[in-house]
Chain A
Amino acid sequence: ETGVTQTPRHLVMGMTNKKSLKCEQHLGHNAMYWYKQSAKKPLELMFVYNFKEQTENNSVPSRFSPECPNSSHLFLHLHTLQPEDSALYLCASSQRTSGSSGELFFGEGSRLTVL
Chain B
Amino acid sequence: AQSVTQLDSQVPVFEEAPVELRCNYSSSVSVYLFWYVQYPNQGLQLLLKYLSGSTLVKGINGFEAEFNKSQTSFHLRKPSVHISDTAEYFCAVRNYGQNFVFGPGTRLSVLP
Contact = CB atoms under 8 A, between A and B. Distances in A.
Contact of A99 (B34, B96, B104): B96
A4 B104 contact: no
Counting chain B residues whose Cβ lies within 8 A of the other chain, the interface size class is 20 to 34
A90 B43 contact: yes
Most interface-central of B34, B45, B100 (chain A CB within 10 A): B100
B99 A48 contact: yes
B32 interface: yes
A108 B102 contact: no
Interface string A77-115: 000000000000010100001111101111111010000
Contacts of B41: 108-109, 111
Contact of A109 (B32, B34, B42): B42
Nearest to B48: A103
Contacts of B104: 41-42
A12 interface: no
B112 interface: no
Nearest to B46: A103
Contacts of B49: 103
A42 B102 contact: yes
Contacts of A106: 36, 43-45
B17 interface: no
Given A6-B43, A98-B97, A109-B43, 6 more contacts: A42-B103, A90-B43, A101-B96, A107-B43, A108-B42, A109-B41
29 contacts: A4-B43, A6-B43, A41-B104, A42-B102, A42-B105, A43-B102, A45-B100, A56-B99, A90-B44, A92-B43, A92-B44, A97-B97, A97-B99, A98-B97, A99-B96, A99-B97, A100-B96, A101-B32, A101-B94, A101-B96, A103-B34, A103-B46, A103-B49, A104-B100, A106-B44, A107-B43, A109-B41, A109-B43, A111-B41
Interface of B: 32, 34, 36, 41-46, 49, 51, 90, 94, 96-97, 99-100, 102-105
